[in-house]
Structure formats: C-alpha cells, structure tokens
Chain A
Amino acid sequence: MKILLMGNPNVGKSALFSRLTGTRIITSNYPGTTVDFTEGYFRLGDEQAKIVDVPGTYTLEATDKAEEVAVEMLKDGDLVINVVDATNLERNLNLTLRLLERDVPVVVALNMWDDTHHRGINIDVVKLEELLGVPVVPTVGVTGQGIRDLISRLPEARVPQSAFPTSDERWAKVGDIVGQVQSLSHRHHTWRDVLEDVSNHPAGGTFIALLVLFTTFWVIRFIGEGIIGYVTDPLFEWLWTPLLLKLSLALGSGGFWHSILIGNLVDGGIDYFQSFGLLSTGLYIPLAAVLPYIVSFYLALGILEDVGYLPRLAVLMDTIMHRLGLHGFAIIPTILGFGCNVPAVMATRILESRRQRFIAATLISIGIPCAALQAMIIGLVGQQGGQYVAMVYGSLFVSWVIIGLILNRTVRGFSPELLLEIPPYRLPPWRVVGEKLWLRVSGFIREALPIVLGAVLVVNILYTLGVFDFIANIAAPVVSGLLGLPKETAVPLAMGFLRKDVAVGMLAPLALSAKQLVISTTVLAMYFPCVATFVILARELGTRDMLKATGIMIAAALIVGGLQNLIL
C-alpha cells in the first residue's frame, strides 16, 4: 500500500510525515522546502504502509521541477492524504477537488487546525466532510494532534464521483463549499500582524533585513567560536593530544604507520593544522574546526526557516536578483549554500525555468562558500587578520554579482516573475528546530567525516609516491605565473576537488603570505565544485550544462585570482 501526502506548498506535509513515520525530515516555514519525495513506513492495521512526502503543488499541472515530481508520483499512489491548510481553505480546496476527480481514494487532513482559532476562522468539519464525500480530519502536524484519528480513518478513504469540466466551474464549487462551512469572527491584531506589516514596508523591511542578517552573522560567529574555544579545542588539547603522543612514541616516532596515522611532528609536538595524519588533522578538521560552525550555522538557519523570514527576504531582494537573471525566491537556495552547496543546488528546483536553475546553480557554486570551507578560511586566513578574511568574502561577493550580470545577458531562455506565497510569521517550534539541527549535523558527520579521512589518506599516499611534485611542476606556469603562488599550492588546489576544507588545511604548512592566502582560498572557493556538488550539478543540470558551469567557474577563478595577484 502506497500512501501519498499531497497538498499545496507550505501546508505542513513534512511535519505530518515526521509524525506518521517517526522519521525526522527537514521542515520549514516557506513554500518549497521539500523538492524531492521522501519515503517512510508506518503500521496501518496489520500492514506496513509506505508513505511518501510529495513536494507541494498548487495544481496538478506542473509549473516547476518540484511540482513535476508531485504530478508524476500521483500516477502510482494507492491512497492520497490531501493535506489542507485550514487557514486558507478556498485556495487549498481547489487542489482537493482536482484530486477528487482522479481515480484514487482521498482523505483530507485539515492541518494547522490550531491556527484557525486565533485567526478567527470557524470551520464546520462535519459539513465539509459531507460536501466533499471523503473523511476530513483536523490535525496539527507540529504537535501531532489528530494523527491517531487520521490513521484510523484511512480505511474510509473513497473516490467520490465528481468532475468539473472547466476551471471556472471548479472555482465556483470551491466558493460554494467555503461559503457553507466557514464563518469568520473578529480577530485581534497580534504582534505577528505588526511585525508582518513592518517587514512588508520597503524601509521597514530593509531595516529588519539588515538587523536579521547582522544578528545572524553575530550569533553564528559567537556560537561557533564559543564551541571551538570552550569545547572542541580543550578536548583535543587535553584529551586527544596526550593519547596521540603516546601512540607516536609507541610507533617509534616515525615510519610508515606514523606518517599515515599521526603525520609529521612539528617541533616534537602535534600541530593539528600541519601534521596531516588520519588521527590528528584528519579528525581535527571535521570535528573541531568545522563542526562548531556547522552547528551554529544550521541553528541560525533553522530558526530563520521556521520563523518564516526567508520568503520576506526573497521579496526584498527581488529587484536585485532580477539583474542577475533570477528572481527573489532564488535567495533561498543561495542562503542554503552557505551551509552546503549540495542541498542548495537541489533547492534550485523551486525556480521555474531551466535558465534560472542554471544561473542560480552556477552562481552558488562560484560565489557561495560552504560552512566547512568558511570555517577553515576563518581559521587559517583569520590568523593573519580580519581584513584578509574580508578580502576573500569581498572578492567572492563581487564575482557573484558580476558573473550574475554577465550570465543574465548571455544565457538563453526565459526568467519568469516572482510569484510567492508569504507564510505568516510563526514562533519556531523548538522541538522541530532541535530535531532539524540534529538531522543536519549528524548528516554532516556521516557524510563528511569519511571523505575527509579518505582525502587525508590519499594526500599521504600520493605524497609518499611523489605524485605531488609532478602535479606541482605541471601546474607551475598557472599557479606561480598567473596567481603568484608557490608551485606547491597546486596540490591543495587539486585536492579541493575532494574536500575544500581539507584543501585549506593543506595550505597551512606552505607558509604563505597573507596575500597568497587570500588568493589561494578565493581561487579554491571559486574554481571547481567539490565532488559532491559536482555530482549534484550533473544530476540537476545535465552533463552539458554542468560542464558549461564548470568552465565558467575555472575561467572566473583564474581571472579573479590573477586580478587579486595584480591588485593586492
């Protein structure tokens, strides 16, 4: 039995899915959080039922890539749970009627039921059930209210015989139903309305945006540095270093295994940036240098997502993003990119045209450094002074804008206008924020840690084999001639393909000047996507466009790096 959760965007399908299956998935307060389907299982009677969280859709004719997924899924579902936002009955019921016309049994979950009360909306559920001819169950996905009821009524799902030949007739029917079941009572102006009004105003919105971005930045740094200073650094220094030193002695302070596991001793001790053994640098980079920033970034992002701020930022940024061939909604994938480029490129599916997706994905890969890379840049370049970190970010931002302007002039295709539902502000449900944070952080550890360790191992083996001298000599004309870097820098640049955080770590022993650090990290950020992003780009854009995007990246990185070398 295959059950589909379907409904308009941002009605809480993913929250219901989490409740039904006990599997946590990412939920947010903006339309388009889910761009791909997720499958899970739950017990229905004696049977194990498969349930699919389908991306939100307004109609059953796909208008973007995420909606295409939804329409495709409908073809082989055995039952549809149509999730309806009870506070926007009219708009949601249009999709309900479309679903009822299909040959698949439907149950309606009247979600966000708790919100109807403080919005002064009264819905006659019994009457609605009677008019639709299928079970209607009030639910609150975030708290789990009504879930049991929903499950118990799944067997009552039915296919009512209804058909509306034209869109107008369907809307007329929707209006008729809403008129019969919904009544509105007076509602009070709340803090949310005040805040919503302020953020819709151009001046107020800009003020709030600056405030939010500044606060977010400050919070991310404060928490990230706090974890490093008070948790991870002391743990490594006081617990791990003595153990490693003992191991080093046991291995005879040298030899093959010593260089693989512990790496080079620097002044007789372990330098977590420079030693480059599996157990020293291999563990330190992901767990002590990067993880704290992953935690702080995703905590801040999770709160912004759940409050419902991001769509407002999209509206504010729309005019600017149009200049880059995009529209305001593209700011959401872009912000996700500051965490990891992989989900960011996936999220470009919320954009309607192929042209927009190509531009957005290319710009993200070029100008948006992921959290792991940023943590390492702040850690390494920051030692030389904050102004150098600012130079890296400044170069990336300027490149992002200029390349966007150029792509807008040159890429064929069309870019439609912004058309976006702005969800109400909500207090973030803290349990959801916590679970989402855990989901993302554990995902990082699971996916990044093995690759980092693998990369460190590869580095050690290639180093032993002398492959690196070869690479350095071949790349010397570009790396030394154009970028003004020592030819050995070619090695970390090449390793950036595997993991960019490891690559930055490899810059540490090269004793680069501040200027050289700025150039090498900027080029590292721009020139090539890491292998994970590479795969996703190929999947989302197709091989040809992925190669095109990669070409743009390499060209841009060389030009920007060359210019930095001339100017700085």
Chain B
Amino acid sequence: MPEKRQLTLTQMEAGQTGTVVEVLRDPGFMQRRGAGRMRGRGQGPMWGHGPMSIRRLEALGIRPGKKVTKISSMLFRGPVTLRVDNAQVAVGFGMADRVVVEVGASA
C-alpha cells in the first residue's frame, strides 16, 4: 500500500492530484494597519480565513474529501491554480497555504 503524505496546496507540485483533508483557520489575529507588509493577509470578522472564505472555498469545490489537481502556481507567492471537477479555480497564496491535501507518496 502506497504511503500517503499531507501537503498544503502551495507545497504540491504542478500536475499532482490530492484529496483535500482540511482547511486550516488562520492562527493570526486581525491584521489591520500595515496589512500590506503581510501581503494583504489581514483578517476580519467576516472574511480573511474565517468562515466566509471557507464557505466560498467549499462552494468552489475545495472541501474535505474532494480531489483537486494542481495546474500551476504563479511566481513570487502568486495564486495557485487548481482543477476541481470541470472547473479551474485560482486560490490566493495565503489561502492556498492553509488548504491541506493528502497525496500518494509515488507522486
């Protein structure tokens, strides 16, 4: 039986397919002033990596149990592009970094 390992979407390689395990909550607190230094990764009560963004990830097919294939990622911490079923979805780096997938070790 092939060994499984867990990665985030940003760690996956292009062409790899994995199954979503979970979407991590942002451990940080609300970043307000100076959010730019953190690449605009601020968080609010509604958005950020809170329930709202998880709900939209879900709606776009990125939720536990779903198979996703990484198509590419842009340089300099750019977005990760995925294939989910028949659709392509781009996920910003910070959010992609919190989506954990399980891939086969052979990949």
Residues in chain A within 8 A of chain B (CB atoms): 8, 58-59, 61, 63, 87-88, 90-91, 94-95, 119, 121, 167, 171, 196-197, 200-202, 205, 311, 314-316, 318-319, 322-323, 325-328, 352-353, 405, 408-410, 412-422, 424
- What is the minimal beta-carbon distance from B28 to any residue of chain A, in angstroms? 11
- What is the minimal beta-carbon distance from A83 to any residue of chain B, in angstroms? 16
Q: Does B13 touch A at the CB level, under 8 Å?
A: no
Chain B residues within an 8 Å CB radius of A410: 33
- What is the minimal beta-carbon distance from B67 to any residue of chain A, in angstroms? 12
Partner of B42 from the list A58, A323, A415 (CB cut-off 8 Å) is A415
The CA-CA distance from A315 to B32 in the complex, in Å, is 24
Contact B36 A418 (CB under 8 A): no
Contact B40 A91 (CB under 8 A): no
Residues in chain B within 8 A of chain A (CB atoms): 30-36, 39-44, 46-49, 52-53, 55-61, 63, 71-79, 81, 84-95
Chain A residues within an 8 Å CB radius of B86: 87-88, 119, 121
Partner of B40 from the list A121, A171, A408 (CB cut-off 8 Å) is A408
Contact B32 A412 (CB under 8 A): yes
The CA-CA distance from A91 to B85 in the complex, in Å, is 9
Question: What would be 24 A-B contacts, judged by CB atoms less than 8 Å apart?
Answer: A8-B59, A87-B86, A91-B59, A94-B59, A119-B86, A121-B86, A201-B72, A205-B74, A315-B79, A319-B78, A323-B36, A325-B35, A326-B40, A409-B33, A412-B33, A414-B43, A416-B44, A416-B47, A417-B40, A417-B93, A419-B57, A420-B89, A421-B88, A421-B89
Partner of A318 from the list B42, B46, B72, B78 (CB cut-off 8 Å) is B78
Knowing A200-B72, A205-B74, A315-B90 are in contact, say whether A63-B79 is a contact too (CB < 8 A): no
Contact B60 A414 (CB under 8 A): no
Partner of A419 from the list B30, B40, B72, B95 (CB cut-off 8 Å) is B95
Contact B89 A417 (CB under 8 A): no
Chain B residues within an 8 Å CB radius of A316: 74, 78
Chain B residues within an 8 Å CB radius of A318: 74, 78-79, 90, 92-93
The CA-CA distance from A421 to B48 in the complex, in Å, is 18
Contact B81 A422 (CB under 8 A): yes
Chain A residues within an 8 Å CB radius of B61: 90-91
Partner of B47 from the list A121, A414, A418 (CB cut-off 8 Å) is A414
The CA-CA distance from A418 to B47 in the complex, in Å, is 12
Across the two chains, which residue of chain A brings its CB closest to B39? Answer: A322
Across the two chains, which residue of chain A brings its CB closest to B78? Answer: A319
